[in-house]
Chain A
Amino acid sequence: MEPHYPLFYTFHFYLFGVIGLTSAIAFVTRKSPVAAALWLVNTMFSLAALFVMLDAEFIGVIQVFVYAGAIMVVFVFVIMLLNLGHPREFAYARGKRWKLVAGVVGLVLLAELMVISRGGLPPSLVVPPGYNQQQLQELNAVGRIAKPLFNEYLLAFELTSVLLLVAIAGAVVLGRGKAVRAS
């Protein structure tokens, strides 16, 4: 079902996959929040590269803007604001027994996900070959996403704006201090 990929493509796909995976492992084993955040940025970048290679150029750009740009900057900013980079706060990890339990849970989950992903796709839903390329030429990389977003999923899109408004209001209410509330 899958077409034959050139060696150049396959090599870079595996390269970015390995970079993302090792960065994620490095991220989860760090004790310092700052180092963890920077490794996570590395993971986000390699995932953006994978998105571009999987014919989702717009999503790749948005990934860099939103995740690697906005969200991770907010994380690092909060770490800086709360002054959390000190070594005395590093001893936060749980004990050995808890780590063992987490490892077993992780292995079981990984096995489950692998088995599920072996299930394959229902062939009736698969688009005909060349359909994506044809759509990419008719609409462009952005229009391919924008068209369904503003037609079939318009209601969900509008509700998302309400969600963002509520989140902004909630963040402001939670973030302001007691001094403001007293006046």
Chain B
Amino acid sequence: MLAESLALTAALFTIGVIGVLVHRNAIIIFMCVELMLTAVNLTFVAFSRFYGAPGQVFVIFVMTVSAAEAAVGLAIIIAIFRHRQTINLKDINLLRG
């Protein structure tokens, strides 16, 4: 089942990358990042069957980091929305060259 898990991981990660590139809605982009993180977790779990359980410790770390990232990122989105009344990345181009 290792090869199947890795193929599924690759597919899910790629879907996340495509979502980040295609969408302009900041919340959906955030959810795509979460999908990529979860896909990587599947790799850790699949390998931990062959390399031993310590691989699953890293899944805990990835989940903690993604929870922290979601909290801070959503707070940033709320702050931007309060400021500009939109979360469309097309309208948030202050740093554009």
Contacts and interface: CB of A to CB of B under 8 A. Distances in A.
Contacts, number: 228
A106 B53 contact: no
B60 A92 contact: no
A79 B28 CA distance: 10
A66 B68 CA distance: 11
Nearest to B38: A47
B4 A13 contact: yes
A166 B4 CA distance: 38
A84 B78 CA distance: 12
Interface string A154-183: 001000100110111011101101000000
Interface on chain B toward A: helix, strand, loop, or mixed SS? helix
B97 interface: no
A109 B18 CA distance: 10
Nearest to A149: B57
Contact of B57 (A121, A145, A167): A145
Interface residues of A, number: 83
Interface in B58-97: 59-61, 63-72, 74-79, 81-82, 87-90
Given A81-B78, A171-B75, A152 B54 contact: yes
A167 to B, nearest CB: 4
Contacts of A50: 5, 8, 42, 45
A149 B59 CA distance: 11
Interface residues of B, number: 71
Interface on chain A toward B: helix, strand, loop, or mixed SS? helix
A5 interface: yes
A51 B17 CA distance: 22
A79 B24 CA distance: 15
Contacts of A17: 4, 8
Contact of B54 (A54, A94, A148, A163): A148
B53 A71 contact: no
A99 B4 CA distance: 28
Interface of B: 1-19, 21-25, 27-28, 30-32, 34-35, 38, 41-42, 45-54, 56-57, 59-61, 63-72, 74-79, 81-82, 87-90
Ordered nearest first, which 3 A-B pairs have the shortest CB separation?
Answer: A167-B68, A113-B10, A102-B21
